[in-house]
Amino acid sequence: MKKGMKRFTIMLLAVSLGASLLSGCSSDNQKDGTNGKVKLELFANKPEAASTYKELIKKFEAENPNIDIELNLPPDADTVLKTRLTKNDMPDLMAIGGNATYGEVARAGALKDFSDSELVKKIQPVYIDMIGKLVGPEKKGIFGLPYVANADTVIYNKEKFEKLGVQPPKTWDEFIQIAEKAKAAGETAFYFTLKDAWTALPAWNALAANIVESDFPEKKNAGKASFQDNYGEVVDKMLTLLQYGHKDNFGKGYGDGNTAFAKGQSVMYLQGVWAIPEIKKANPNIQLGVFALPATNNPEQNKLVSGVDVLLSMSKDTKHPKEAMKFIEFMMDEDTAKTYIAEQSAFSTLKGVYQEDPIMEGIKANFANGAIASYPDYYYPAGMQAANLVQEFLIKKDKEKFLKKMDAEWDKVQNR
């Protein structure tokens, strides 16, 4: 009897152990996808790049059949990411903007430090410096790998420039003369899309980066600079540009603008190069060119505003660091980078990987000569909502009130 009981007990233990092992496998599979594959979330902030990401993910998964990448492209990605940070629910992988939100997440200690990675050596140092400034001196490390740079430009219709008999301008006065000439010819010079507040920022940044000293954020925090003292010319020039818009500057959004410009409804479009694929989708035959908005009358002083459009990072606490790193290495491969920049009309941050699209001819010299400035608004406090404030100002046109409000909002966020 004892012997039988013993055998029964052993069998019971074996069954229990088998069940628990199966249960463990099952919960792992639920967590990491099916068939024992490792499942990684790629959190990205550029819905317009969805097709490119999907194509690259497909290629990566074919090369790594044990890894599934799940693309997550939420609306208002910055807000979503900050919310997830507070909930300690960070994505495994991130392809996000090199902006104030990145700085905030990096300072919170949520991202892997890539300081010792060989991949850092592949990147042009100017972009490593840019993201370093976003994090600030209080936290040492490189918490993301700048992947793609963008450019804040004036996109122009080459056929319309030819009809007007004008060339891309080198100075502010030449720029406004072209707008005047367009207006006199019954054309809309600039197609504004100010229903979407953020679309005021390409012009705002192009002006501020060239007119206001680059150390403005540090001086502002030290009480040695202010919007009221330093941004007057920027504000005046924003109002000047607005005079050359269309009848419904605040009723049209970004999507409307891309289509309208593609259909020839304006001579120029104050947008970044990221808009080019959308414009060409709407009109594949349009002849486009780009130039840096000449914010001053000194051609030597005028720079192209460029920043880190996409940086790659990963959660410090991902359960699958090896697999996550494998995906980052795949993205940082030269062939992958070339695919991304060709499809997204962007610029690679990698040494030796160049944008070959002839549309970009007008800004190639800026990259070659280093005549580049960073986005000023990237260094404003993250919670300031600068785009909304600029949009409100352009509607109300009260310069003094607006500049005071910009100072007050900055201080309010900094003092929280």
The per-residue pLDDT for 414 is: 86
The per-residue pLDDT for 77 is: 94
Residue with the larger pLDDT of the pair 241 and 352: 241
The per-residue pLDDT for 20 is: 40
Identity of the amino acid at 111: L
The per-residue pLDDT for 32 is: 57
Residue with the larger pLDDT of the pair 137 and 337: 337
What is the C-alpha end-to-end distance of the chain, expressed in Å?
Answer: 75
Residue with the larger pLDDT of the pair 125 and 112: 112
* pLDDT per residue as tens digits for the range 300-356: 999 999 999 999 999 999 999 999 999 999 999 999 999 999 999 899 999 888 888
The residue-averaged pLDDT of 210-224 equals: 95
Percent of the chain whose pLDDT exceeds 70: 92
Residue 11 reports pLDDT greater than 50: no
Q: Whole-angstrom Cα distance, residue 74 to residue 60? A: 22
The residue-averaged pLDDT of 397-409 equals: 98
The pTM assigned to this predicted structure is 0.78
The residue-averaged pLDDT of 238-245 equals: 98
Structure-token match 């000194």, residue found: 298
- Structural contact between residues 178 and 166, judged by C-beta atoms closer than 8 angstroms: yes
Residue 8 reports pLDDT greater than 80: no
Average pLDDT of the chain is 91
Q: Whole-angstrom Cα distance, residue 346 to residue 323? A: 27
The per-residue pLDDT for 224 is: 97
Q: Which residues pair with 315 in a beta bridge?
A: 111
Residue 188 reports pLDDT greater than 60: yes
* pLDDT per residue as tens digits for the range 279-289: 999 999 999 99
Residue with the larger pLDDT of the pair 199 and 9: 199
Taken in order of first residue, the domains within the chain and their CATH numbers are 37-149+307-371 (3.40.190.10), 152-305+380-414 (3.40.190.10)
* pLDDT per residue as tens digits for the range 150-162: 999 999 999 999 9
HSE, side-chain direction, 13 A CA sphere, residue 19: 6
Q: How confident is the model at residue 51 (pLDDT cuts 50, 70, 90)?
A: very high
Identity of the amino acid at 261: F
The per-residue pLDDT for 262 is: 98
DSSP state string for 335-394? HHHHHHHHHHT-EE-BTT-----GGGHHHHHHHHHT-EE--GGGGS-GGG-HHHHHHHHH
Structure-token match 């104050």, residue found: 270
Q: How confident is the model at residue 177 (pLDDT cuts 50, 70, 90)?
A: very high
The residue-averaged pLDDT of 113-138 equals: 92
- Structural contact between residues 192 and 249, judged by C-beta atoms closer than 8 angstroms: yes
Q: Whole-angstrom Cα distance, residue 387 to residue 397? A: 15
